[in-house]
């Protein structure tokens, strides 16, 4: 079974609609993108005063920066040459998608860096670096590791949410961010063997167990974010 066929059978890929539509939705990795967006919300909710327009802004920034751009770059294939979604989208079209999404994402980010939170610039630089270094496996894949994944898509999004609200970073925000980093570490450590089993093409109990772990992790993080939003609105 080919990898692209395996990916189309993923639990987060719709089983209806045209092929390119299904691949486009799959390329967004919505449950995992949802985890990262939730991290930004969790970071935002830690602030004493909540600016809800900034909450929406950071969610939008990460949706286009990670959900669209980073996953488009990942689909291009890095040093390993693996193209997880096959060749249904050309390399040129994926680059165009990534650059348009990044332009939109960084356009919003620069506006808030200039008007509200200059320290967000540090996170923007780091995320920009990891977006290319991780997904395109620059530097011989030295940054394409589980630890850097957890830092870039677990720790930094919490920082981004909190910094955009406060233009500062506290010990509490750092502790929560590293807790979310551990959630991302658990996710990537379950995802790698899960994908390896999918490539074999034969269903196994282990594959089902990893899938349940991934579903539970993504849903739990999103529920934490929703719960924190409701809690802040009620208090």
Q: What is the mean pLDDT of the chain?
A: 90
Q: Output the DSSP codes for 40-102.
A: HHHHHHTSSS--HHHHHHHHHHHIIIIIIIIHHHHHH--TT---TTTTSS-HHHHHHHHHHHH
Residue 81 has pLDDT above 60, yes or no: no
The most distant pair of C-alpha atoms in the chain lies apart, rounded to whole Å, by 54
CA distances for 60 relative to 67, 99, 107, 160, angstroms: 10, 15, 11, 12
Question: Residue 145's pLDDT is what?
Answer: 93
Question: Residue 213's pLDDT is what?
Answer: 92
Question: Residue 27's pLDDT is what?
Answer: 86
Q: Can you tell me the distance from the alpha carbon of 144 to that of 121, in angstroms, rounded to the nearest whole number?
A: 23
CA distances for 26 relative to 19, 64, 144, 165, angstroms: 10, 15, 21, 32
User: Are 164 and 120 a contacting pair, CB within 8 Å?
Assistant: yes
Q: Can you tell me the distance from the alpha carbon of 221 to that of 113, in angstroms, rounded to the nearest whole number?
A: 27
Q: Can you tell me the distance from the alpha carbon of 144 to that of 140, in angstroms, rounded to the nearest whole number?
A: 9
Average pLDDT score over residue span 3-25: 76
Q: Can you tell me the distance from the alpha carbon of 48 to that of 89, in angstroms, rounded to the nearest whole number?
A: 44
Question: Residue 227's pLDDT is what?
Answer: 97
User: Are 148 and 182 a contacting pair, CB within 8 Å?
Assistant: no
In this structure, how many other beta carbons lie within 10 angstroms of the beta carbon of residue 126?
16
Residue 160 has pLDDT above 90, yes or no: yes
Question: Residue 117's pLDDT is what?
Answer: 97
Q: pLDDT tens digits for 19-31? A: 888 888 888 899 9
Residue 192 has pLDDT above 90, yes or no: no
Match 């920034």 to its residue by tokens: 61
Question: Residue 35's pLDDT is what?
Answer: 97
Q: pLDDT tens digits for 194-232? A: 887 777 766 678 888 988 999 999 999 999 999 999 999
Residue 3 has pLDDT above 60, yes or no: no
Residue 126 banded pLDDT, cuts 50, 70, 90: very high
- b/e burial code for range 64-85 (CB count within 10 A of at least 16 → b): bbbbbbbbbbbbbbbeeeebbb
């Amino acid at each position: 079974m080919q990898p692209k066929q395996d990916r189309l059978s993923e639990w987060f890929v719709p089983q209806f609609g045209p092929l390119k539509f299904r691949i486009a939705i799959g390329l967004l990795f919505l449950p995992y993108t949802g985890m990262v967006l939730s991290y930004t919300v969790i970071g935002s909710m830690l602030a004493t005063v909540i600016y809800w327009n900034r909450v929406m802004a950071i969610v939008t920034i990460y949706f286009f920066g990670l959900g669209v751009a980073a996953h488009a770059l990942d689909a291009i294939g890095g040093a390993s040459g693996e193209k997880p979604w096959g060749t249904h989208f050309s390399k040129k079209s994926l680059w165009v998608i990534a650059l348009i999404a990044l332009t939109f994402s960084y356009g919003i980010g620069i506006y808030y860096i200039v008007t509200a939170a200059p320290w967000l610039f540090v996170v923007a630089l780091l995320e920009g670096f990891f977006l290319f270094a991780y997904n395109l496996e620059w530097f011989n894949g030295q940054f394409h590791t589980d630890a850097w994944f957890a830092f870039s898509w677990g720790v930094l999004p919490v920082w981004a949410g909190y910094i955009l609200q406060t233009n500062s970073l506290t010990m509490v925000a750092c502790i929560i961010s590293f807790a979310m980093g551990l959630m991302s570490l658990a996710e990537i450590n379950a995802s790698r063997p899960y994908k390896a089993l999918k490539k074999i093409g034969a269903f196994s109990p282990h594959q089902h167990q990893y899938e349940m772990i991934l579903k539970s992790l993504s849903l739990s993080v999103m529920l934490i974010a929703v719960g924190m939003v409701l809690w802040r609105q009620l208090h």
